[in-house]
Amino acid sequence: MSTIAVLGTLDSKGPEHAWIAAAIRRAGHAPLLIDVGSLDAPAITPDIARAEVLAALPGDHAATLARRDRGECVTLMGRVAAALVTSLHAAGRIQGIISLGGGGGTAIATAAMRALPIGFPKLMVSTLASGQVAPYVGTTDITMMPAIVDVSGINRVSRAIFENAAGAICGMVAAADSRRTAPAVSSEKPLIVASMFGNTTACVIEAKKILEAAGYEVLVFAATGAGGRAMEALIASGLVAGVLDITTTEWADELVGGVLTAGPERLDATAKAKIPAIVSPGCLDMVNFGEPASVPVKFAGRLFYHHNPQVTLMRTTPAECTELGRIIAAKINRYTAPVTVLLPLRAISVISAPGKPFHSPEADEALFSSLRQNLRSDIPVIEHAVEINDPAFARACAEALLHHLSSVKQV
């Protein structure tokens, strides 16, 4: 039997969380009801009362609660809930977590869930789950389940959703229990992370084969904004031995205003982690938007490629490429572990190759020249007169990273 935290604002959604707790109990697990409400008294009796939750984070929180400002209270309860579940997990007291909520409840519960490690079962039933959930999920593995109707009572719709939610979290916990009781792996392979886009898939897959044959485990992250942030978070965790950053395209979206930005911290974690890296300007020829109607009017007249009905790509200009080279060089200049920049001179994506829609030698050379001019003089820049997806370029990237990893081991 495992213990599952049932965390919620029990002042406004007490009966609903009590119903989930009962369903978990019927499934053979132990619910742990935690009250993170802040405005009124809880409608049901929790196992961990609000005062204990608040005590998980040092400080005088009384003044914040006394003001009864909803925004302030939600922020505070998210912080203290995160501290509480972190301590419960560290003590082995919980093996999963579930919550039900609207806007405030979702903000509080997901703040707590984001504090828990990847692989720990977490399920959020939310009225916001069918919309933009990135602020709630972040770089974690929170499972978001749409509530369909508001979390307000038990009715024919909410009952079905809550039953599924209880079954889901119990199933997730059972799967996690199976992993814990499985025979231990005798030795974990060193971990390498790689960035990939559809336009660099062939390169990354070929390099991955070479690295895996050399005894490494390679995790590939899609360069879609969320993927880049997740990769940065994993690098920052200290679990990664090396970085194969073939696809730095998210910086084009960050600079120009596309929809797949990973934020201004992209490429920073490798410097802080002080681990070997390979960096290539994969897909910096493109900025991502949604359907054609979503492209801002200010970009009228630019060169576009309609990747599919939902994705419109815009070619970066020479001026933008010059700035991208400067930004990325500045990031790489902070790296203290071995790093090499590899440039595929014939194409930085499938569609920038000769004869393809985004072929622009002027823009590519602006990017390459800016990188050469702005990188530290001791950072190798290796040029290959091939396209990025040429097997020879993939081999060069993999072998350069293996060389750096070997040199670090010998020190």
Here the CATH number for the domain that contains residue 131 is: 3.40.50.12020
Give this prediction's pTM. Answer: 0.77
pLDDT tens for each residue of 64-115: 988 989 899 999 999 999 999 999 999 999 999 999 999 999 999 999 999 9
| pLDDT of res. 70 | 87
Q: Distance from first CA to last CA of the chain, Å, rounded?
A: 48
Q: Is pLDDT of 409 > 80?
A: no
Residue 213 and residue 158 share a domain: no
Residue 203 and residue 74 share a domain: no
| pLDDT of res. 356 | 97
Residue 147 and residue 237 share a domain: no
| pLDDT of res. 186 | 46
Residue 75 and residue 170 share a domain: yes
Count of domains observed in the chain = 2
Q: Is residue 319 part of a domain?
A: yes
Q: Is pLDDT of 410 > 70?
A: no
pLDDT tens for each residue of 236-249: 988 999 999 999 99
| pLDDT of res. 187 | 57
Is the Cβ–Cβ distance between 325 and 369 less than 8 Å? yes
Mean pLDDT of all residues belonging to the chain: 95
- 347: CATH: 3.40.50.12030
Residue 379 and residue 304 share a domain: yes
Q: What is the mean pLDDT of residues 27-37?
A: 97
Is the Cβ–Cβ distance between 127 and 103 less than 8 Å? yes
Pairing state of beta strands 217-222 and 191-196? parallel
Separation of alpha carbons 6 and 95, rounded Å:
11
Q: Is residue 186 part of a domain?
A: no
Residues 6+ apart with CB under 8 A from 376: 332, 333
Pairing state of beta strands 30-35 and 143-146? unpaired
pLDDT tens for each residue of 290-322: 999 999 999 999 999 998 889 999 999 999 999
Is the Cβ–Cβ distance between 314 and 287 less than 8 Å? yes
Residue 171 and residue 94 share a domain: yes
Query: Could you tell me which of 39, 101, 43, 41 has the C-alpha nearest to residue 73?
Result: 39
Is the Cβ–Cβ distance between 327 and 255 less than 8 Å? yes
- Helices 103-114 and 70-90: crossing angle in degrees, nearest 10, is 30
| pLDDT of res. 183 | 65
Q: What is the mean pLDDT of residues 145-155?
A: 93
Range of the domain at 174: 3-181
Query: Could you tell me which of 152, 103, 94 has the C-alpha nearest to residue 124?
Result: 103
